[in-house]
Structure formats: C-alpha cells, structure tokens
Chain A
Amino acid sequence: MDFVVIQLLTGLASAASLFLIAAGLTVIFGVTRVVNFSHGSLYMIGCYLAWSILTRLPRDPAWFALGILLAALATGLIGALLETTLLRRIYRAPELFQLLATFGVVLVIQDLVPLIWGPQDLPLPRPPWLRSFVTIMGERFPLYDLILIAIGPVVLLLLWLLLHRTRFGILIRAATEDREMAAALGIDQRILFTAVFALGAALAGLGGALILPNTSANTGIDLAVIVEAFVVVVVGGMGSVTGAFVAALLIGVLQSFGIALLPKATLVLAFVVMAIVLIARPNGLLGQPLAPVRGAAGVPTLIRPASKLTQAVLMAGLGLAVVAPFVLGPYPQAVLTEALIAMVFAASLHLTMGPGGMVSFGHAAWFGLGAYGAALAAKILLLPTPIGLLAAPLVAGLAAAAFGAFIVRLSGVYLAMLTLAFAQIVWAVATQWSWLTGGDDGVLGVWPALPFPFYWAVLGLSAGTVWLLRQVIHAPFGFALRASRDSTLRAGAIGLDPDRLRMAAFTIAGAAAGLSGGLFAYAKGSVFPTYVHVGHSVDALLMVLLGGVQTVSGPIVGALVYTGLYDILLQVTTMWRLALGLAIIGLVLLFPNGIAGAIRRPA
C-alpha cells in the first residue's frame, strides 16, 4: 500500500511538470496551428533563467516563488520576441515549413545556451526547506514534490478561468475553433497570436523553472522534454488544455509505476500508451477533429517530368560520381558516400511526405532497422555482403508494411506522432536488447566484402533506388497516391482505395530507407542506436523540406545541400548548430517552397 501511494505521488509530481509544458504547446497549436518544436528550448531557457535569478535572490520560499514567476515572465517575453521576429512571417507557409523553422530555432538555442551559461550542468543550491521531507504512511516524501502536485491543478484552474471567464480567453477559444471566422469577426490575429505564443512560452518557462530544484539546468533537456510534451499533447488531443492535463496525469503516473515495476519498459511506455490511445481515438482523448485551415496549405503544385536540363545535370553528376574514386581522396569519397546514402534516405521519406501526404517524424526507424538487419545478417548469421544488403530493405519493408496497416487511417500530426512513437520503440530495443544489438556499444566490424570498391555498390544502389522511386511517383501508383492525398472523397468516387495505397507507399518508403541504412552500416562498419534517434529522423525531414516537398528532384538537392552544409560547418566552426539553425531559418524565410521548388518557379 505504501508503495502504491508513494509511486502515485511521484507520478503526480512528474505529471505536473509534464502538464505545464504540454499546456503551453497545446494552446499555441490550437490557435496558431504551429507545431512548435522549439517549445522544449523555451522550457530549457526557463530552467536556465530560473537558475540565474534564484542564485541571486534570498533563499526563502517567498523569494523563490517570485524568482520562478520572473523566470516564467522572462521566457514569455522571449516567446513574444520569437513570434514577432520569425513565426509571424511564416503563418501562411505550409505547416511543414513552420516545423522546419521552429527546428532551426532549436538548433540555434542549443548553441546559444552554452555560450551564455557555459557547458556545465548548473544545479541549484537548495536551501533546507527545499530539501525537507514529509512523512506519508511511514515513507519520507519530498515536500517540493507535494508543492509540484498542487501546482498542476492550480495552473489548470487559472488557465480554465483565463479561457472561459475573460475576453482574451473567448478570443483564444474562438480562434482555436475557427481562426478564419474569428478573423472575419474583426479579431486582430497579430496581437492574439503574439499573446498566445507568449502565454505558451511563459508556461514552458514556468515548467522549466519549477523542475530546476529537482535536477539541474543542462543542455540536454530541450529535446528530451519536447518529445514527452508532444506525446502528452497528442494523447490529450491537440488544442485541448484539459486533455493535456488528463494525459499528463495518465502518463506521469504510468511512468512512475513503470519505472518501479518494469524498469526496462520505461523508454517505450509513454509511446505504447500513445499508440494505443491514437488507434482507439484518432483525435486523442479529448481532441476534436481539426478544422482545416483554409488557404494555409497553398495550391498544390503540379509534378512535371524533369526538364531536359535537369536530366542533363543529373546524368553529368552521375558520370562524375562514377569516376570519383580515381580522382578523390578517401575523405571526400567518404563524404560523397554519405551524401549518396542520404539521398536515398531523403527520397524515401519524400515518397510518403510528398505524394503520400503523410509526414513522418520517425523515418529513422526504417533506416535503423535496415542497418541492424544488415549488420546482424553479417555478424551473427555470417551472410555475405549482397545478402546483407538484401536483408536491409526486406526487414525494414516488412516492418513498415505491418506498421502501415495500423496507421494509414490517421492523418496529419497524429500520424506523424505515431511514426515517432514507433521509432522510439525501435530505438529503445536497440539500446536495451544488448545481447542482440550490443546496446549503446553498437554492432562493430560490419565491413563489406565485394570484388570491387564498396563505393560503386553505394553509387549503383543509391542511384538505382532514387530512379525507381522517381518512376513510382510518375507511374499510375504514384498518381493514385497523389490523388488520394488531393481529395480522398474523389479518390473513393473513382474507385481508388486510399488506405491500401498509403500502406503500399509506406512499405516502399520503408524498404528504400532500410536499404540506405544497410548501405550506411557497411560504409561505416558499425551500427549504433543513434541511427534510430529522433535527431536522425529530423535530418531526413530537413533534407526533404530544404529540397522542397513538391518536386521529385527536391530530396536529392536537399540531401546534397544538407550533407554539404553539415560537413562544411563541422569543419569551420564549433558552433555548427547555430550556423545550421540560422541557415535553415534563412532558407525558410527566403524559399518557402524549398530550394528545388524555388529554382523551378522563380517568384
């Protein structure tokens, strides 16, 4: 009994901080429809600001409370600044470009924070009252956790009052339900959006500040917390504050018991919960089907066969690539190998994102499955390299087909989140099943044995796969896939089966990504769980978005630019995240249709 109560209380305490970050995220999404990847960064800033403020204030409870509020307020101001300088310019851009821009912000802040506060973790020296315990049923329980438990419902109540009892709240709810109608009724969207973003940022800052006494300010919390926050928001239903509260309770408490009972399951527990909830309730626990935002997606562009010039450039590039081993040294050749593999990875994601209209936050899952499939075939089954390279797309393709059958009915952000959930599960397996995968140490010594340089195998398979993917997009299947994306209603009325088409697209994309993973495994000679990490999925997203979703050559350009940028930045500066983030933000502001999209259609 004691155990149950203590675990329950621990769960409630973590639920409170989950709720704070998720509440801000869900309010921002509800009104502006921006999926704000940088919300975790605001949380991190709140945490650091709280450290700077609290270490300068007297250490009694009243000053502590004031310091926390100041940190939240300051984070809110930073949020307002972010909204007015960046997001305001891209509300009309496709949803994915907003995502890309907010991810650019994540990268920038990841480098700015250590620049300001230094790279070391910053713990808060805790006065006695912060360290004290309360005895509950014979067990000592931290007083501060009890305070956190109380703060959750208090914030929910205040938010509820704000949303339901003030004019500002009515405007927020009106804009959440139908922002065009709200605009038509004369609500100034600019002020409303800025205010909402500031409110959301302040909530994130509050969450970050409150977590400080229990951990320390460090540079890793932004990505950790954003993934959890997305899970909570999606489980609760996007845009629903009460839903976020219920979901935070559910996940916080489940995780607290999970850690105690099934320590191995903790990495995936939240994602399993999310998968179950989304399959049963595709709009989350308390979410409404999202009203489409009219006109925001823009007019879908036509896909034309490549022009003669593009074809000539591609053929010339291919010719140069074939003779590259005779000209280039080992290092540029290694970079080129990576770029070729990245092209396949990006082109495979493009099939689902572009013609398929399904965004994936977890495309690295298929890459990783292919990499592990090839590596284990080589190391455990001792199969020759060609079979290993065959195993990679097979394993990933089969997994993608099974997963696709589950998720094709979902759409938009919910679908994207389930792909993320699946990738996290694969990642957890890669980390935790060390008897098979070697855990964090990875699988080593996966070297190719072919009668010719492996580079040519990479070139041949990459170019061939990208060509095949291109054929698929122009073939009847690709047309039908695009038709299902453009109008599900009309697709059904001319006899198409959108679910099956999407599932097939998922399978093809998964197999192609798996092949790229297999090639990467042999090229690097090793496989690590980082191949499946969120960061790697984001790499693929960035490549596709940089190149442009609406063109077939987009992912090729995107992969080259991204690999090139990354490599150059890594060599010339230690602040490569800052530079890359700024480059991404700049590109989004300059080319809202991607680079290849801009070349095709000079505005």
Chain B
Amino acid sequence: MSLLTASDLRKNFGGVEAVAGVSFTLAAGELLALIGPNGAGKSTCFNLLNGQTPPDSGSVMLDGTDITGWPPRRVWRLGVGRSFQVAATFASMTVRENVQMALIARHGLVWRFLRPAHRLFRAEADALLAQAGLTDQADQGCGALAYGALKRLELALALANDPRLLLMDEPAAGLAPADRRVLMDLVRRLARERNCAVLFTEHDMDIVFAVADRIMVMDRGKLIAEGDPAAIRANRLVQAVYLGEES
C-alpha cells in the first residue's frame, strides 16, 4: 500500500501547462527523487502536493485520505513536512525558537496567551537541532545565519512534525557541492531511522544516483521516465532530454 498517490495532476499558468498529467506513487520509507531540467515543473508539482497551489485537476491521496487542494496547514497536520527551494524560516527568532515554534504548533499550543513560549519543548528542540547538526547555532538569530545552516534548519523544522512524508524542494540548493552531499546523506539517514518517505529534487546527479531509491524524470510538465538509479542511468530518452549527452 503506497503512502502517497498522485493521479493525473494538472496545472496551467496562463496557458502554459506547468504540470501536464503527473501520476506516481510513493511507498512508506522510500526516497524518491524528482529530477528534470529547469522549468520542467518540479516546484509546481511540490506545491500541488502540499496545497501551496491547488491543482486544476487530478487528485492527491495521502494514506487513503483525499487531500487534493487542502491548505498547507491541514496537509501538515497529517504528518507532511516541507522544505522550500529558497529557505523559509522565521528571521526574528533564534534557531532554537524556530524549532520550538514548530513543536508548539504540532502540539496544538498556539492559542496560549500568558506563559512564555521560550520554555516550551526546549529539550525536544535541542534534540532535533542535534540531529540536524545545529547544536552550536541554537542561540543564534536566524536572520544572521549562513545559508547552509538555514537549509539544515529547514530540515529540522520539517522533522519537528515527526512526519510520515517529507516534501523537499531542492533541500541542498545554494550549498557547496561537498555540503550538498553531507546534507543529503543526513536526510537519507534520518528518513531511514524514522521510516519516513521523502520526495526530493536535486540538481547534482551524482547525489541523486547515490541517495535515491527510485528516480522520476520530468520534462515539460510530464514524467518521461521512472525507475531505479541503474535503469534511469541507462535510459536513452533521459540521456537525450535531460543529461544532454550525445547518444
């Protein structure tokens, strides 16, 4: 039984079909990479999945629940963590407070008006920060953080929800190649430990082939290939369209 099932998702932007009928499934604990050239529709696809953008047609099922067009905050409640291509964090808070905020939301304590928030879930927040390798930066303001640390914080925020599914749109974008690999290995390890499914995009093919269990290739709004890394590496169509290699 698959955890996530997308069926024939479509989205038009002013006549341009950004996503033109995408269907796939994702099993619990699986690491699935979505790759494709710039403008292929990957980010739009992510936004359709977690409700950032409602699809024109098609459906998204999460563990038997139809979540098509749900707003992100409801999708999140079902255990879906999200990271963004351009890191989105709370700049007026420290790194720890960011994670505390996510934990407060997860435990439904947002509508408390009197007791200070910074005492809540400190230990849990520090545990998540340790997993993301951010212990040293816990008290730093998020607005002054290096980009690599911000991307790690995104990961910690997504994990704060104890998610069943992580949607990670270029979790390593903007990092140096060596750091990208370290971060993706971290994602893979944490996902394995938590039996959490991950759908991610990444431009560095070496990383994709090393990390992913399965790969989908997208071009001009459509999935053109799907399979395990070895099959994708051997796929002629993928080589022509995406890798740009002469066959």
Contacts and interface: CB of A to CB of B under 8 A. Distances in A.
Interface stretch (A122-130, A458-466, A469-477): A469-477
A480 B93 contact: no
Interface residues of A, number: 32
Interface string B56-75: 00000000000000011100
Given A299-B144, A300-B143, A472-B113, A495 B77 contact: yes
Contacts of B81: 493
A493 B85 CA distance: 13
Given A299-B143, A300-B143, A495-B106, A477 B76 contact: no
Nearest to A480: B110
B120 interface: yes
Given A492-B71, A494-B101, A495-B77, A475 B92 contact: no
A489 B157 contact: no
A477 B143 contact: no
B101 A483 contact: yes
B111 A476 contact: yes
A476 B112 contact: yes
Contact of B113 (A300, A477, A495): A477
B89 A487 contact: yes
A495 B117 contact: no
B76 A494 contact: yes
A302 B143 CA distance: 9
Closest 4 CB pairs of A and B: A300-B92, A299-B143, A490-B88, A492-B72
Given A302-B93, A482-B93, A492 B116 contact: no
A487 B90 contact: yes
Contacts of A495: 73, 76-77, 105-106, 161
A519 B71 CA distance: 43
B159 to A, nearest CB: 11
6 contacts: A468-B114, A477-B111, A479-B100, A493-B50, A494-B106, A495-B106
A402 interface: no
B97 interface: yes
A486 interface: yes
A483 B157 CA distance: 13
B79 to A, nearest CB: 11
B19 interface: no
A209 B64 CA distance: 70
B112 A490 contact: no
A263 interface: no
A490 B141 contact: no
Given A492-B72, A494-B101, A483 B116 contact: no
A61 interface: no
Contacts of A492: 52, 71-73, 76
Given A480-B101, A495-B105, A474 B94 contact: no
Contacts of B117: 474-476, 478-479
A97 to B, nearest CB: 17
A85 interface: no
Contact of A489 (B84, B93, B114): B84
Contact of A471 (B82, B109, B114): B114
Nearest to A297: B91
B73 A475 contact: no
Interface of A: 299-303, 305, 468, 471-472, 474-480, 482-483, 485-487, 489-490, 492-497, 501, 504, 550
Nearest to B102: A494
Contacts of B72: 492-493
A477 B110 contact: yes
A475 B116 contact: yes
Secondary structure of the A side of the interface?
helix
B77 A486 contact: no
B101 A305 contact: no
A468 B100 CA distance: 22
A219 to B, nearest CB: 42
B127 to A, nearest CB: 17
Nearest to A493: B82
Contact of B92 (A303, A474, A476, A489): A303
Nearest to A479: B117
Contacts of A504: 111
Contacts of A477: 110-113
A305 B115 CA distance: 12
B73 A476 contact: no
A255 to B, nearest CB: 38
Nearest to A298: B143
Contacts of A486: 89-93
Contact of A476 (B82, B93, B110): B110
A475 B101 contact: no
A492 B102 CA distance: 11
Interface string B157-177: 110110000000000000000
Interface in B144-164: 144, 157-158, 160-161
Contacts of A472: 113-114
Contacts of A299: 91, 141, 143-144
B88 A474 contact: no
Contacts of A303: 92
Given A300-B143, A479-B100, A495-B77, 13 more contacts: A299-B141, A299-B143, A301-B143, A303-B92, A468-B114, A475-B117, A476-B109, A477-B113, A479-B104, A480-B101, A480-B105, A482-B92, A482-B93
A179 B198 CA distance: 39
Contacts of B106: 494-495
Contacts of B100: 479
A504 B113 CA distance: 11
B118 A474 contact: yes
Contact of B73 (A474, A478, A482, A496): A496
Contacts of A305: 116, 118
Contact of A479 (B93, B144, B161): B93
A472 B111 CA distance: 10
A476 B104 contact: yes
Given A483-B101, A486-B90, A489-B84, A494 B113 contact: no
Nearest to A504: B111
B170 to A, nearest CB: 15
B179 to A, nearest CB: 22
A151 B72 CA distance: 51
B93 A497 contact: no
B94 A490 contact: no
A118 B82 CA distance: 65
A489 B158 CA distance: 13
